[in-house]
Amino acid sequence: MNSSHQYRPSVYFAIAFAITWINGFILAVQSHQGYDKSIVNLLLAYMGPFIAALIMIYVFADKSFRADFGRRIFDLGLINKRYLPFVLFFLPVAMVISIIISITFGQSVEQFRLASEFKIFEGDSILSMLILVLVPVLEELGWRGYGVDSLVSKFNLFESSIIFGVLWSIWHLPVFFIKGSYQLSLLEQNPIFALNFFVGIIPLAIIMNYLFYKNGRSITLIALFHVTANFSAEIFEANQISKCILTLVIIVVAAIIIIRNKSFFFKQKMNLDLCKRTRSTITKN
């Protein structure tokens, strides 16, 4: 974290939310009036965090901050390889465990079938695929490029993770009003399933922030984890009962990580001026 930079979290999140919500609710209106979804509005909605980060980095920050932003995208040496198995396999394995638990409570074995199509937007598998792959990258360029650091500059890591998790959860609100969206289908099936979507994001944010600061603030690593998270939720024909169980599994893992790393999460100030740290120092984490 660049300790010389004066972070402005309120400004950043206000811009990110404004861009996403304005375009998201335009898409909602278009969908209910029978119009095709505007690609421009769709891209702007999902790029809100990234655009906000670019504004904060290129308007309010200096060259060294911009250089650090690029380094955290392209320098794979920031990644501690011992975390890669967790990044790649935790959520797929957690999804399998959740399905197995649901089956023991009488849910269908058919959940282990591979999904016939991705269901981000009903009847639009190509768009759904693009969202599964592209959107996590765009989000993390914003959230980890500026947003999370801006919170950590004001709060300890635990407080920052909870605040970010709540904000990230609420940020998704417009998609619940877009006709044909996966999130709206959750609300129509059962409000509890929609609530699970919101709740599940918070422990996931804790885990992602832990990985982020244990890997030199590598944006690339967290983007990879985010893509894996999206595909883990979509690859099987898992029902919403299993996805509620998945949230419980993620909560348990997040709690274990916090308990095992209390000082890391609860110390008053993160002394992570990683701009000045060498690769060898980072890998010791």
Amino acid at 79: I
Residues paired with 167 in a beta bridge: none
Sign of CA dihedral 215, 221, 223, 225: negative
Rounded to whole angstroms, the Cα distance separating 84 from 68 reads 22
Rounded to whole angstroms, the Cα distance separating 168 from 170 reads 6
SS3 119: coil
**Could you tell me the two tokens for 201?**
């994001």
Rounded to whole angstroms, the Cα distance separating 215 from 46 reads 25
Closest CA to 12 of 45, 63, 60, 84: 60
End-to-end CA distance of the chain: 15
Amino acid at 268: Q
Annotated catalytic residue 139: yes
Catalytic residue among 32, 140, 159, 172: 172
Catalytic residue among 139, 140, 226, 234: 139
Rounded to whole angstroms, the Cα distance separating 158 from 98 reads 26
CA 169, chain centre distance (Å): 9
Annotated catalytic residue 234: no
Rounded to whole angstroms, the Cα distance separating 46 from 238 reads 25
Closest CA to 254 of 192, 162, 166, 171: 162
Rounded to whole angstroms, the Cα distance separating 228 from 95 reads 11
Greatest Cα-to-Cα distance within the chain, rounded to the nearest angstrom: 58
Closest CA to 186 of 124, 241, 133, 229: 241
Catalytic residue numbers, as ranges: 139, 172
